[in-house]
């Protein structure tokens, strides 16, 4: 099952990096299957078919890689909104949407983290142009660049290329994370994208533990950002 799961992941994993397979196999050692019961950490889940083990892993990625976490409430408003929706959907057993909102915690965490990194005032450079802007978060900065008609891959913010795409934002965050956090973020974002486009074909089994691990991951990201 572990090798099969690895094949399934590699079939859709858009943000793969060297060394991921070893970390994936290590994380999959945490799965214990006994008939129709699957144990991961402190959670025991009942499945209908053996292949549903895949859905357990895909719905609980941060928990598999990073272990237990805590729900944090000293996070940006957009993150807390996603976290609140994830908890409500989970309590209603709306599993696909609960998984989507859980991984939205991570995406909103990355966007909010970038917004804090640029601060209230920042200098944009585009070729020979140099522009001072104020009060723009990540989303508004993307819109500002688009309205200017600038090539989105040539704009520099604080000396760095602006991360216009999700993949570029994940690459930008690498300076603040270790390899386990990196893989948890990249794989979660990939699953989130599949869910958003109706492309995920497995039954998902999200857990409260994964919401807490996702919340903890974002909290750790902000802690590392503020330490630098």
**DSSP per position, 183-202:** HHHHHHHHHHHHHHTT---S
Q: Where are the domains of the chain?
A: 2-114+169-227, 115-166
pLDDT tens, residue order, the chain (228 aa):
677 788 888 888 888 898 898 998 888 888 888 888 888 888 888 888 888 888 999 999 999 999 999 999 999 999 999 999 999 999 999 999 999 999 999 999 999 999 999 999 999 999 999 999 999 999 999 999 999 999 988 999 999 999 999 999 999 999 999 999 999 999 999 999 999 998 888 899 999 999 999 999 999 999 999 997
| pTM summary value | 0.93
């Amino acid at each position: 099952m572990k090798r099969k799961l690895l094949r399934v992941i590699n079939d859709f994993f858009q943000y793969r990096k060297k060394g991921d397979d070893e970390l994936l196999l290590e994380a999959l050692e945490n799965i214990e299957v006994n008939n129709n019961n699957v144990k991961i950490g402190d959670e025991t889940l009942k499945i209908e078919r053996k292949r549903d083990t895949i859905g357990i892993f895909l719905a609980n990625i941060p928990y598999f890689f990073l272990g237990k976490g805590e729900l944090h409430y000293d996070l940006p408003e957009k993150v807390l909104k996603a976290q609140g929706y994830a908890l409500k959907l989970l309590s209603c057993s709306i599993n696909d949407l609960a998984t989507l909102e859980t991984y939205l915690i991570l995406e909103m965490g990355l966007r909010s983290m970038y917004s804090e990194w640029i601060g209230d005032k920042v200098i944009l450079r585009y070729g020979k142009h140099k522009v001072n802007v104020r009060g723009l978060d990540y989303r508004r900065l993307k819109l500002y660049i688009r309205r200017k008609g600038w090539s989105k891959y040539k704009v520099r913010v604080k000396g760095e290329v602006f991360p216009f795409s999700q993949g570029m934002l994940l690459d930008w965050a690498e300076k603040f994370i270790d390899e386990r956090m990196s893989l948890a973020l990249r794989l979660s974002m990939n699953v989130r994208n599949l869910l958003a486009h109706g492309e995920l074909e497995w039954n998902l089994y999200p857990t409260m533990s994964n919401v807490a691990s996702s919340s903890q991951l974002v909290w750790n990201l902000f802690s590392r950002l503020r330490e630098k």
